């Protein structure tokens, strides 16, 4: 391999994602002063440059790629004069040391609710049994509620075969649609008590029936306060929904999360468990059997589950928002 002499390395300016700004000039400053080193030696400065390159988008280097692969990084490092030759496996080892995987990606939504910190903070306080900086009593409860829409009942055109030695479960690819349910569920986050129902569709009336199902039974009907954590869906959106429900149940407080922050609502964790454990693979000959599966799974889960170990607090939220704000500011500065 080839390495840079230490006196030929230009000053490093880090971008918001940790990349070296001088790499944007296609490594022009790096093409001079290359010296040969012993085989098998991994020059520290070369590793730094490769990692910095991996933290840049390929499009910033005029490459028709959406993501880097190890082969792409090795090829580009050679083309721009960083190294005479290098293998993709060597690049992978260096990146793996710092958990840099530019070939992976995930979607996210930038927080755009102007009251994000306030709304999210209230929910995080409730998970710690705090409201308005005061501890909650034993006669106060927190429920996390939402709807899982359009759960289809798919009848397979051939029966499903169970797993056998050396062979996984076999599920027929083709199916017949047998309708769909909207699954409304509420989770008492500290007691792991579940309340669910299947409705043909979502809406204000189905959600009100869900609330009635919970609030008409003990201990919620006699509780001092019952906090319902919900999103801003049309079934329970805004102050009107909060006022409507409190007119019916004086001890009910509707707590709305920020826009696009369903990850703060613990019922979403339960929905993911339902999807993995009860609904996949989807093989239900009728809506009745699908409904029975959902309701029976609630009972099963209550018997084996413990409250989620929620560790994300207001402190973590403030750190996250500060980091996002800093990254956004740095990106605007680089764009300018």
In a domain, 331, yes or no: no
Residue 300 maps to a domain = yes
Same structural domain for residues 86 and 148? Answer: no
**Whether 156 contacts 283, CB under 8 Å:** yes
What pLDDT score was predicted for residue 335?
65
* Same-domain check for residues 160 and 269: yes
Please report whether residue 320 resides in a domain: no
- The pLDDT of residue 17 is 40
- For residue 13, the model assigns a pLDDT of 39
Is 127 within 8 Å of 265 (Cβ atoms)?
no
Tokens of residue 274, six digits: 């339902």
The tokens for 239 are 């102050």
298 part of a folded domain: yes
3-state secondary structure of 8: helix
Tokens of 270: 């339960």
Which residue matches tokens 């008590």?
193
User: Among residues 283, 274, 270, 185, which one has the least CA distance to residue 230?
Assistant: 185
Per-residue pLDDT of the chain in tens (336 residues, 90 and over written 9): 333 333 433 433 333 344 444 344 444 433 433 334 334 445 788 899 999 999 999 999 999 999 999 999 999 999 988 888 899 999 999 999 999 999 999 988 888 888 999 999 999 999 999 999 999 999 999 999 999 999 999 999 999 999 999 999 999 999 999 999 999 999 999 999 999 999 999 999 999 999 999 999 999 999 999 999 999 999 999 999 999 999 999 999 999 999 989 899 999 999 999 999 999 999 999 999 999 999 999 999 999 999 999 999 999 999 999 988 887 787 777 666
Number of independent structural domains in the chain? 2
Residues 284 and 169 in one domain: yes
- 306 lies in the same domain as 160: yes
CA distance between the termini of the chain: 37
Is there a single domain that holds both residue 65 and residue 212?
no
The CA distance from 227 to 206, in Å, is: 19
pTM of the shown model: 0.78
Under DSSP, is residue 40 helix (H, G, I), strand (E, B) or coil?
Answer: coil
Whether residues 59 and 128 share a domain: the answer is no
Q: Do residues 93 and 62 both lie within one domain?
A: yes
107 falls within a domain: no
Distance CA 298, CA 300 (A): 5
Q: Judge whether 51 lies within some domain.
A: yes
Q: Report the pLDDT value the prediction gives residue 210, as an integer from 0 to 100.
A: 97
My answer on whether 120 and 52 are in the same domain is no
Structure tokens given for 271: 């929905």
Please report whether residue 111 resides in a domain.
no
Predicted pLDDT of residue 336: 63
Contact call for residues 120 and 170 (beta carbons, < 8 A):
no
Do 141 and 227 form a contact (C-beta atoms < 8 A)?
Answer: yes
Which domain covers residue 65, as residue numbers? 2-97
Q: Which helix (H) or strand (E) holds 318?
A: helix 314-335
> Are 256 and 294 found together in one domain?
yes
Residues 278 and 307 in one domain: yes
Same domain for 80 and 120: no
> How far is 293 from 297, CA to CA, in rounded Å?
6
Same domain, 205 and 283: yes
CATH code of 153's domain: 3.30.420.10
322 domain residue, yes or no: no
């Amino acid at each position: 391999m080839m390495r840079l002499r230490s006196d030929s390395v230009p000053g490093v300016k880090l971008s918001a994602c940790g990349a070296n700004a001088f790499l944007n000039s296609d490594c022009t400053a790096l093409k001079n002063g290359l010296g040969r080193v012993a085989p098998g030696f991994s020059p520290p400065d070369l590793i730094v440059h490769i990692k910095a390159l991996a933290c840049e988008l390929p499009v910033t280097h005029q490459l028709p790629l959406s993501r880097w692969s190890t082969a792409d990084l090795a090829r580009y490092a050679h083309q721009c004069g960083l190294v005479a030759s290098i293998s993709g496996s060597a690049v992978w080892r260096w990146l793996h040391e710092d958990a840099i995987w530019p070939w992976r990606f995930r979607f996210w939504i930038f927080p755009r609710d102007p009251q994000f910190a306030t709304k999210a903070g209230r929910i995080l306080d409730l998970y710690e049994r705090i409201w308005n900086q005061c501890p909650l009593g034993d006669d106060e409860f927190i429920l996390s509620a939402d709807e899982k829409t359009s759960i289809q009942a798919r009848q397979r055109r051939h029966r499903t075969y169970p797993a056998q030695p050396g062979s996984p479960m076999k599920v027929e690819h083709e199916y017949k649609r047998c309708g769909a349910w909207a699954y409304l569920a509420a989770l008492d986050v500290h007691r792991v008590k579940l309340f669910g129902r299947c409705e043909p569709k979502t809406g204000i009336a189905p959600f009100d029936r869900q609330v009635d199902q919970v609030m008409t039974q003990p201990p919620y009907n006699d509780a001092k306060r019952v906090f319902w954590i919900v999103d801003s869906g049309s079934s329970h959106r805004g102050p009107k929904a909060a006022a409507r429900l409190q007119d019916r149940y004086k001890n009910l407080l509707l707590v709305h999360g920020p826009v696009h922050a369903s990850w703060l609502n613990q019922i979403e964790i339960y929905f993911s468990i339902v999807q993995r454990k009860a609904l996949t693979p989807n093989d239900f000959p009728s809506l009745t059997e699908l409904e029975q599966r959902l309701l029976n799974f609630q009972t099963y889960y209550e018997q084996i589950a413990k409250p989620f170990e929620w560790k994300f607090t207001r402190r973590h939220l403030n750190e996250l928002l500060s980091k996002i704000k800093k990254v956004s500011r740095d990106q605007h500065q680089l764009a300018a």
